[in-house]
Amino acid sequence: MLLFLNFLLGLIRILAADGGSHWTYEGPHGQDHWPATYPECGGNAQSPIDIQTERVPFDSELPVLKPHGYDQPGTEPLSLHNNGHTVQLSLPPTLYLGGLPRNYVAAQLHLHWGRKGQPGGSEHQVNSEATAAEVGENQSPAYEHILSHLETIRYRGQTTLVPPFDVRGLLPPELGEYYRYNGSLTTPPCYQSVLWTVFHRKAQISMGQLEKLQETLFSTEKDSPSQLLVQNYRAPQPLNHRLVVASFIPEGAFYSTGEMVGLGLGILFGCLFLLLAGYFIARKIRRNRLGEQKNVVFTSSRRATTDE
C-alpha cells in the first residue's frame, strides 16, 4: 500500500526527472530495464532497501529532526501535479529540516502506493515487510489537503493549485526515531545522491483515504486508453557494502522477530525440560526414599501410596 512517506527531505539535486526516456514500473520499460537507459539505476548504492533491523546499529549521534516552516508554508498556493508516476506536491524553499548534517531545503514531496485490496505499497521494507501508511479509523485531515484535489488531476500531465496547509501533519507524529543510510532516487535517473531518512513510526490515514489514492489517478494522458496509476513502487535493491544506522534501539536489535520467536520457544522448551527433569529426579529420589521407608515401615504402605 503506500507511503513510508517518502519525504525526499529536501536533500539533493533533484534535476527534473523524466525529461528523457519513457519508463514504467512493469513491462518492457519496467524497473529491470531502467539501467539500460539510466546507468545509475544499476549502481551499487541504490534505493529502496530492505532494512534488516538486526544488522542496524544504534547511532547515538543522530539528532531528532525538526521541521521548520512546515506548519505555515507561505501564503501562495502549492502546485499539485500528476506526472504519470506519482502525485507530487511542490514545496517552497522556506521549508527545511533541522538535524541533518548539511543544509537542505524542501523541494517536493510525493507518495508511493500499491493496489486496492493488496498489502504493501511502501518502497522501503523493514525485516522484509512492506507496509502502507498505518490505516486506521480516523481520516488524516492533512492528507485530505492532497486527496481532495486528486479528481482534478486524474490524468498524466495535469496540475492544480492547492491552498497552503500544515505540511507537518503529513509526517508521522514522532520524528525522533528513524533509520539513516546513503542511497539514491528510487526513480530514473536513480542518482546516488540521497541521504535517506526512513521514519520508524508511520503516518496514519483511513482506509477510505488509501483507497482514494489507489483508485483516482491514471498514469496515462487524457484522451488515450486509461491505465490506473497503481503499484508505483520500486523493489528493494541490494545493500552491498552500505551501513544502515538507527537513531533508536530497534526492537529486535541483535535478534530478528523470527529469531526472537525461536529463542522464546527455545527458552520455553528448555525450561519445560528442566522442570520435567526436576520432577522426575525428585520423584525418583522420593521413590527411593519411600522404597527405603517401605522396607522400614512396611505397614504404612497405604499412607505412602496416598502420598504418592
Q: Which residue is nearest to ligand NAG (CB)?
A: 182
- Gap between the Cα atoms of 177 and 154, Å rounded: 35
| 145 catalytic per annotation | no
What are 55's three cell numbers?
544488522
Q: Which of 139, 160, 182, 206 is in the footprint of ligand NAG by CB under 6 A?
A: 182
Please tell me the count of residues contacting ligand NAG according to CB under 6 A: 5
Cβ closer to ligand NAG: 87 or 194?
194
d(CA 245, CA 200): 12
- 7 touching ligand NAG, by CB under 6 A: no
Q: What would the grid cell of residue 144 be?
A: 485530505
Q: Which is nearer to ligand NAG, 108 or 182 (CB)?
A: 182
Q: Does 181 bind ligand NAG (CB under 6 A)?
A: yes
Please identify, using beta-carbon distances, which residue of 210 and 244 lies nearer to ligand NAG.
Answer: 244
Find residue 80's DSSP bridge partners: 89, 160
Answer yes or no whether residue 124 interacts with ligand NAG by CB under 6 A.
no
* Contact with ligand NAG (CB under 6 A) among 12, 14, 207, 245: 245
- Which segments of 178-219 are extended strands (E)? 178-183, 194-199, 204-206
Q: Would you give the DSSP letter of residue 105?
A: B
* Closest approach of ligand NAG to the CB of residue 172, in Å: 20
| Stretch of 41-49, 86-94, 175-183, 258-266 contacting ligand NAG, by CB under 6 A | 175-183
Question: Which amino acid does the sequence have at 41?
Answer: C
Amino acid occupying residue 24: T
Task: Determine contact, residues 137/201, Cβ cutoff 8 Å.
Answer: no
The three-class DSSP label of residue 12 is coil
The span from the CA of 296 to the CA of 195, in Å, is 82
Locate all alpha helices (DSSP H) within the chain, ordered by sequence.
Answer: 34-37, 141-147, 207-216, 257-296, 301-307
Q: Single out the residue of 243, 276, 277, 297 in contact with ligand NAG (rule: CB under 6 A).
A: 243
**Which residue is catalytic, options 81, 85, 124, 145?**
85
Should residue 220 be labelled a site residue for ligand NAG when binding is judged by CB under 6 A? no
Nearer to ligand NAG, 80 or 126 (CB): 126
Stretch that binds ligand NAG, among 47-55, 117-125, 177-185, 266-274 (CB under 6 A): 177-185
- Least distance to ligand NAG, CB of residue 66, Å: 19
Measure Cα distances from 167 to 5, 146, 217, 259, 265 in Å.
Answer: 12, 10, 22, 39, 45
Q: Does 180 bind ligand NAG (CB under 6 A)?
A: yes
Q: Given the complex with ligand NAG, which of 243 and 272 has the nearer CB atom?
A: 243
Choose between 112 and 180: whose C-beta lies nearer to ligand NAG. 180
Cα–Cα distance between 21 and 96 in angstroms, integer?
31
Residues acting as catalytic residues? 85
Q: Which residues bind ligand NAG (CB under 6 A)?
A: 180-182, 243, 245
